[in-house]
Amino acid sequence: MRMDLINSAEILIIDDQALAQNFLKKSLESLGYKHIKIAESAKHALQLCQEQNFSIILCSFNLSRDRDGFHLFEEMKVKGYIRPTTTFIFVSAETSPALVNSVVELQPDDFLVKPFTAKELKIRLERVLSRKDKLKSVYRAIESKKYNKAIQLIDNHLENPKLAKLAPFLVRIKGDTLLAMEAYEEAERYYHSILEKYRFAWAQVGLVKALLALDKNETAEAILTRLVERPESRLAALDLLGQFHLHNDDFEKAYADFNQAAELSPRNIDRHKNVLNLARLIHDHNAQFETAKNIAKYGKRSIHDSPDLYLTVARAGVDYALTLSEEESAPILRQSEKYIEEIKKEFPNAKLAKEKINVTKARIHYLKNEQAQAQQLIQSALYGNSQSQNIEDDIDKAKAFHELGHKDAALELLENIGETNFGNEVSQKVMEQYLKQEAQERRDIPFSPRELNNMAVGFYSKNQLEPAIQTFSDALRLMPKNVRIALNFLQVLVDQKKRQGLKAHHQPMFDKCMILLSTEKMDDKQQRRFEILRSKANNEGSEFDTINEKI
């Protein structure tokens, strides 16, 4: 190891355990390193990085004082404290699948599992530092986004026999660089040339990225179906499958893909946001609520942390409560109220607009049948003369207007939301589709899900089958995964079949209910009811029980 690299190294140790700090510092000093600083928390580490540049960062993944290593790495990269030329090594005693997947996602230079010896630390450091030094011209070109220069340097290095040991790194960096410069046709040819000799999973992932960018979707899908079965490529393959299904407007499958990826690596907040947006697009409000809680949990004290994170959970809770009975919705609404209170506790100095909180509170009062309080809270929002800067505020406001009877105001607000940049291609497509869907549903259906179900039950009790069928159809459109709605709807359709026969437009509704109830989870009472209805639909059994379940 060259002594000039050791002498010039500026090292930062980030660990909240005194013994670990002491071990790493003494080990580094025994190897000849002199310029070493220690941060006992993520906050302290960020302060030190603001004051100076570090060439080597050794970071514990399991920091406990404020944020963990994943979110610290993420923030340091956003702020430019970690550059391509920086050596970053994670250290952890934990090797759970979720942690390992998180580390793989971040792609640090190395990952050291505790306990390790000073000798092992020496070997790992020398390996990374030597590579960084020999390829520093490449890394600097990439850091400056001079991609053509980087490609030329990589090709020169690959022809240099002295750098033969670095060829695996160079060929991978070249592929990443071609994708970064959006040279997708060249990237496709390049990855094919690699895969003719080697079956690297990373090369197959890179090839899929190029194929998807070139709209060669069938070939990409065939590769992804294989990659998703391999543990080392499953996470990346699920993300790409999600993008593939999203491109084909298959939002249900896209949701399933991104949700599985989020379970594998739960610290990735951006992916959780994709899951949340897709969940509400497909009307899976339970999943929307659970995902919002995960975002608040894993985003706590990260670069993503904000009062709006907690408000998102409260709003998702209200959306979910709308699909439940009054009894079932009560504990969900209490959770929404708790998250609103958490904003004051976690962000005492935050200047969060009072109006946006009042809008969510108004929706909670509405669900509690406290109409006077709800209308009072919504007045300032209703007669305000401007849209919010945050599009989510406008969406929540439109929902409140609609639920409280101000249908025209709700529709006008949704239709006036202009073009918005949602940050990435996935969010862009999902949110544009969601906004169109919200506006269309508000135009077509002037009632809330709970109102629709209760209206339909009322029609049925008066033997008005056709109005009941149409109203249940609207309710199921807004709540396509709601078992209670589907059971009530099926009972009306079975009654229609027994009395007058199903009309042509009834059959698709009947089939939809049967498919939903055959695939969704139900409790014992619901399962028994479904079995009875299915028997009656097949001309078995006796008279029907009255629908007695309301939302």
**Length, in residues, of the chain:** 551
Q: Is the pLDDT of residue 433 over 70?
A: yes
Q: Is the pLDDT of residue 1 over 60?
A: yes
- Interval 339-392: pLDDT, tens: 999 998 888 877 777 889 999 999 999 999 999 999 999 988 887 655 667 899
* Sequence letter at residue 199: R
For the residues 34-40, what does the mean pLDDT come to?
A: 96
pLDDT for res 547: 52
For the residues 314-340, what does the mean pLDDT come to?
A: 95
The dihedral built from the CA positions of residue 132, 137, 139 and 143, taken in this order, carries a sign that is positive
The more confidently predicted of residues 199 and 185 is: 185
Asked if residues 492 and 468 have their Cβ atoms less than 8 Å apart, the reply is yes
User: Tell me, what DSSP letter sits at residue 481?
Assistant: T
For the residues 53-57, what does the mean pLDDT come to?
A: 96
pLDDT for res 437: 95
pLDDT for res 416: 87
CATH architecture of 143-231: Alpha Horseshoe (1.25)
Q: Is the pLDDT of residue 527 over 80?
A: yes
pLDDT band at residue 544 under the 50/70/90 scheme: very low
**Strand 35-39 vs strand 10-14: parallel, antiparallel, or unpaired?**
parallel
Asked if residues 122 and 31 have their Cβ atoms less than 8 Å apart, the reply is yes
CATH architecture of 456-537: Alpha Horseshoe (1.25)
Q: Is the pLDDT of residue 538 over 50?
A: yes
The more confidently predicted of residues 5 and 254 is: 254
- Interval 134-145: pLDDT, tens: 999 999 999 999
- CATH 1.25.40-classified regions of the chain: 143-231, 253-444, 456-537
For the residues 450-473, what does the mean pLDDT come to?
A: 93
pLDDT for res 385: 53
- Cis status, amide bond into 115, omega within 30 of 0: yes
Residue 200 is encoded by which pair of tokens? 């690297």
pLDDT for res 549: 47
For the residues 121-143, what does the mean pLDDT come to?
A: 95
The C-alpha atoms of residue 279 and residue 255 are separated, in whole angstroms, by 7
What's phi and psi for 232, nearest 5 deg?
-75, -15
CB atoms inside a 10 Å sphere around CB 208: 27
For the residues 236-251, what does the mean pLDDT come to?
A: 96
Q: Which residue's structure tokens are 């109006």?
A: 355
pLDDT band at residue 395 under the 50/70/90 scheme: very high
User: Which CATH number among 3.40.50.2300, 2.40.160.50, 3.40.50.150, 3.40.50.300 corresponds to the domain 3-132?
Assistant: 3.40.50.2300
How far lies 377's CA from each of 297, 339, 360, 374, 388, in Å?
29, 18, 9, 5, 17
pLDDT for res 325: 84
User: Tell me, what DSSP letter sits at residue 223?
Assistant: H
The C-alpha atoms of residue 367 and residue 333 are separated, in whole angstroms, by 8
Asked if residues 514 and 533 have their Cβ atoms less than 8 Å apart, the reply is no
The C-alpha atoms of residue 41 and residue 234 are separated, in whole angstroms, by 32
Question: Per-residue DSSP letters for 49-71?
Answer: HHHS--SEEEEES---SS--HHH
Give 530-533 contacts, CB < 8 A, sequence gap 24+: 530/487, 530/490, 533/487, 533/490, 533/491, 533/494
pLDDT for res 226: 95
Asked if residues 536 and 498 have their Cβ atoms less than 8 Å apart, the reply is yes
The more confidently predicted of residues 277 and 388 is: 277
Which residues, 6+ apart, have CB-to-CB distance to 492 below 8 Å? Answer: 456, 460, 465, 468, 469, 472, 547
For the residues 264-280, what does the mean pLDDT come to?
A: 96
Q: What percent of the chain has pLDDT over 70?
A: 97
Highest-confidence segment of 172-176, 350-354, 544-548:
172-176
Residue by residue, what is the 3-state secondary structure of 371-427? HHHHHHHHHHHHCCCCCCCCHHHHHHHHHHHHHCCCHHHHHHHHHCCCCCCCCCHHH
pLDDT for res 540: 59
For the residues 273-290, what does the mean pLDDT come to?
A: 97
Asked if residues 311 and 292 have their Cβ atoms less than 8 Å apart, the reply is no
Residue 449 is encoded by which pair of tokens? 């899900």
- CATH 3.40.50.2300-classified regions of the chain: 3-132
pTM comes to: 0.90
Cross-strand partners of 39: 14
Q: Checking phi first, is residue 543 left (phi over 0); if not, alpha (psi -120 to 50) or beta?
A: beta
User: Which CATH number among 3.30.70, 2.30.31, 3.30.310, 1.25.40 corresponds to the domain 253-444?
Assistant: 1.25.40
The more confidently predicted of residues 435 and 350 is: 435
Residue 235 is encoded by which pair of tokens? 């996470």
SS3 12: strand
The C-alpha atoms of residue 455 and residue 443 are separated, in whole angstroms, by 18
Q: Which of 33-42, 112-121, 124-133, 349-358 has the lowest mean pLDDT?
A: 349-358
Q: What percent of the chain has pLDDT over 90?
A: 83
Which residues, 6+ apart, have CB-to-CB distance to 485 below 8 Å? Answer: 449, 453, 472, 475, 476, 479, 551
State the greatest distance between any 2 C-alpha atoms of the chain, in Å, as a whole number. Answer: 92
SS3 306: coil
The C-alpha atoms of residue 52 and residue 460 are separated, in whole angstroms, by 73
Q: Which of 117-131, 338-352, 420-434, 502-516 has the lowest mean pLDDT?
A: 338-352
Which residues, 6+ apart, have CB-to-CB distance to 172 below 8 Å? Answer: 200, 202, 203
pLDDT band at residue 266 under the 50/70/90 scheme: very high
CA 131 to chain centre: 34
pLDDT band at residue 550 under the 50/70/90 scheme: very low
pLDDT band at residue 87 under the 50/70/90 scheme: very high
